[in-house]
Structure 1
Amino acid sequence: MDRKITIRDVAKHAGVSAASVSYVLNGIDKITPETKQRILASIDELGYQPSLTARCLSSGNSKLIGISLPITEKGDIPGVLLENNPFFGEFISGIENVTREKGYDILISGVSTNEQYKDWIQRRKLDGIIMLGVYPKSIFEEIQNMNIPIVLTDAYEEYAKQFHRVMVEDELGGYLATKHLIDLGHRKIALAVGSVIKSHVNYKRYQGYKRALEEANIEIEPSLLFEDHVTFHGGYRIGQKMLEDSCKATAVFAIADIMAIGIMKAFTEHGKKLPHDLSIVGFDNIKFGNYTMPGLTTMSQDIILKGKVSAKMILDDLEGGKRTNTSITLKPVLLERDSTMNRLD
C-alpha cells in the first residue's frame, strides 16, 4: 500500500516549512504569491489530500451542518422518517444543494431527550443545526446558549423567535384548500389531520379549514374530523374509517400529501373512483403527488426552497461570524391537478 502523503512531504517538495503549507491550506495570507503557487503545484503533483480532522482542529470548524428530524412516535428513527414521508427527503435535498457549494457536509440524526441533543451537537462539533418538526421547550432551553446558528422550521412558539425560523402560512393554506372544495360545490368536507394539540402546524391548518367553512355558513361536523398520524398509513386508516362509517363527505382536505395519498389508496382498493366518489386536496406538493392516479390537487409549498433558505441562514451566520435570528414566511399556492371536481348531485 502506498504511503499517505503528509503536509511535511509537501513542504519538503516545495522547499518551504510545514507552517507555510498550513497557511495555504487554511487561506492565511502570510506568504508571497510565488511561494503559494509553488506549494499549490507540489500539492497537485504529489496528490496530497488534507486531513479533514486536522483542518477542523486548525480552523475550529467541523464543516458539518446538523439536520435534526423529529422523534415523536415509538420506533421513529431518521431512516424510517425519510422512508415514510418524502417531505423530509425533498427538504434535505434543498439544504444539501446549498451547503455542498460552500464545502459543508450534512449530518442527519433524530434525538428524543435534552441530554442526547446537546451531546450530539458537542460530540459532532456541529457548526449549525436545522431542526425539522416539533420539539419540547426544554430542548430549546438546553441549546439556546450554544454559540452556533440554529434554524427552526414551522415553529410558532413564542420562545422560538430567538432562533432563525422558516415558516409557511399554514392557516392560509388550510383556508384556500377548503375554499377550493367549497367553490366546487362541496358542503360535506372532511378533514384528515394529525394531532392539533401537539402540533401548531396541524392546528393552524385546521383553523384555516374552520375559517373557510364558517365563511361559507357551513356547519363544522365533528363526525367529519379524522385524526391520525401524519403518514401514509395514518391516511390509509382514515380512508378505511370513512368507508366503514359510510361517511357522507363528498370531499376531504388532508393536511399533508402523504396522508392524502393514503386515503386515495384506501378508496381505490374499495373500488371507489376518484374524484367522482371523493374529491381530495393535500398540502405540501411532494413529488409523489404528481405520480398518483389521479394527480393530487394540493396546497404547494416550495419544499426545496424551504431547505435552501434554511441552509443559507446558517451559512450567512457562519460567514458573518455572529448568530442572528430572522423569520421568513413562505406563501402556499393552490396547485390544481385531477383529484378534485365539481360536486355531483
Structure 2
Amino acid sequence: MEKRATIKEVAEKAGVSKATVSYVLNNTKKVSESTKERVLQAARELQYAPDFTAVSLTKKKSRMIGVILPLINESIAGIMQENTYYNEMISAVEKTSRENNYDILLAGLARPEDYRSWVQKRRLDGLLFLGLFPEGIYREMHSMDVPAVLIDTYESHTENYPAVNIDDEKGGWLAADHLISNGHDKIVFLSVDLDNPVEKERFQGCKRALKEAGLPPPAVMKAEDIHSFESGYEAGRQLFKEKKYTAVISGSDTTALGIIRAVHDGGGKTPEDLSVIGFDDLRLSRYVIPSLTTIRQHIEKKGTLAAEKLVRVMEGQEEQPEMVDVELIVRESTGKR
C-alpha cells in the first residue's frame, strides 16, 4: 500500500511552511496567488488528501450529514430495495451535499438513545430525517441541539424544525378527481397505514373530491407490510378477484405497479378491468406497460430543497417550512368507465 503524502511533504515541495499549506487548503488566510499555485501544484503532484478526522477535531466540524431512514426489520435494506422513492431522494440529497462540501452517512435508528450515540460517535454536523419523527426521538435530538431538517413529517411536535413536505391532501384530491371525471364511482384507496400522517392527508384529499362530486367516501383496503411490489401484487390479486371496484388509488407507485402486474397475471387488463393510479412519479413508472398514471411529487426537488435548507441551518441561518406542489400525470393505467 502506497504511503499517504503528509502536509509536511507538501510544504517542503512547495518551499513554504506547514501553516501556509493549511491556509491555502482551508482558504482561511490571504496568500499570494503565486504561493497559492505552488502549494496546490505540490498537493496535486503528491496526491495529497487532508485527514478529515484530524480536520474535524481541530475545527469541531466533520463536514458530515446524517440521513435517517425508516427501519424495516431492523435494517434500511428492505425499504431501499422495495421502494426506489428513497433512492431518488437520497441521490438528490447527496448531490446537493457534495456541492456544498459535505458527505452523507445513511442509517436507520429505532431507539431514541441510538441517535445521541450515532451523532456523537460520527461527529455529525446536521441531520436529515426522511419520514416519521416520533416524539421520543424529537426530545432526544432537541436536548442535543443538532441542526436538523425533516422531510414528509406532519407531527405537531416537529414545528421547531424546518420541514419540506408536499401538498399530500391536494395529491389525493387530484387522483380521485381524475377518476371521477372518467366516470368512476367505485373507487378504493389502498393504504399501508392510515395512521401515517402522509397517507392520512392523501386519503382526506380523496374523500374531499368524492364528497364534492356527491359520492360516498372511498373504500379503504389495507395493504400488507410496507410499500412494496409484493404488497401491491397481493392487493391487486384480491381486487381483480373480487371485482368490486373499477379504480384504485395507491399510496405509492411501487404498490401500484404490483397491482398492475397482478391484474395482468390474472388474465385481466389495466385500465379496462381496473384503473390504477399511483403516487410519486418514480422514474420507472413511465416505462412500464401500461405506463402509470400518478401524482408527481418532484422527489429530486424535495431532496435538493431539504439539503440546501440544512446547509443554511448549519451555517446559523433560520429556515422556514416549505410546501412543494404536486401535479397529476396522466398516462395509460387509467381510462374511462
d(CA) in 1 for partners of 2:147, 2:46: 38
Cα RMSD for the two superposed structures: 1.7
1:329: which partner in 2? 323
Matches within 5 A, 1:4-23: 4-23=4-23
Secondary structure of the residue aligned to 2:108 is strand
Contact 1:161 1:325 in 2 (8 A): no
Contact 1:181 1:251 in 2 (8 A): yes
Query: Is 1:124 aligned with 2:122?
Result: yes
d(CA) in 2 for partners of 1:261, 1:120: 36
Matches within 5 A, 1:149-188: 149-188=147-186
Report the CA distance between 1:33 and its aligned residue: 4.3
Report the CA distance between 1:143 and its aligned residue: 0.3
Query: Is 1:340 aligned with 2:334?
Result: yes
- Tell me which amino acid in the other structure corresponds to 1:341: G
Contact 1:113 1:139 in 2 (8 A): yes
2:198: which partner in 1? 201
Secondary structure of the residue aligned to 2:255 is helix
- Tell me which amino acid in the other structure corresponds to 1:139: I
Secondary structure of the residue aligned to 1:37 is helix
d(CA) in 2 for partners of 1:274, 1:207: 26
Contact 2:297 2:324 in 1 (8 A): yes
Deviations 1:260-306 (A, max 9, x none): 11111111110111100011111110112112210000011100111
Report the CA distance between 1:20 and its aligned residue: 2.2
Contact 1:297 1:338 in 2 (8 A): yes
Report the CA distance between 1:175 and its aligned residue: 0.7
Instruction: Name the CA shift for 1:217/1:152 in 2 (closer, same or farther; >3 Å).
Output: same
Report the CA distance between 1:42 and its aligned residue: 2.5
d(CA) in 2 for partners of 1:146, 1:236: 43
2:68: which partner in 1? 68
- Tell me which amino acid in the other structure corresponds to 1:279: S
Matches within 5 A, 1:46-125: 46-71=46-71, 73=72, 75-125=73-123
Indicate which of 262, 265, 280 corresponds to 1:266. Answer: 262
Aligned length: 335
- Tell me which amino acid in the other structure corresponds to 2:106: I
d(CA) in 2 for partners of 1:267, 1:118: 47
Contact 2:190 2:220 in 1 (8 A): yes
- Tell me which amino acid in the other structure corresponds to 2:269: K
Indicate which of 262, 286, 291 corresponds to 1:290. Answer: 286
d(CA) in 1 for partners of 2:133, 2:192: 15
d(CA) in 1 for partners of 2:41, 2:276: 62
Report the CA distance between 1:58 and its aligned residue: 2.7
- Tell me which amino acid in the other structure corresponds to 2:322: I
Instruction: Name the CA shift for 1:98/1:132 in 2 (closer, same or farther; >3 Å).
Output: same
Deviations 1:30-52 (A, max 9, x none): 54444433323332333322222
Indicate which of 213, 217, 221 corresponds to 1:220. Answer: 217
d(CA) in 2 for partners of 1:277, 1:3: 66
Contact 1:202 1:255 in 2 (8 A): yes
Contact 2:116 2:144 in 1 (8 A): no
Report the CA distance between 1:323 and its aligned residue: 5.5
Report the CA distance between 1:23 and its aligned residue: 1.9
In the alignment, structure 1 segments of 5+ residues that lack a partner are none
Task: Report the TM-score, using the length of structure 2 for normalisation.
Answer: 0.94
d(CA) in 2 for partners of 1:122, 1:134: 22
Secondary structure of the residue aligned to 2:243 is coil
Task: Report the TM-score, using the length of structure 1 for normalisation.
Answer: 0.92
Contact 1:149 1:324 in 2 (8 A): no
d(CA) in 2 for partners of 1:109, 1:191: 31
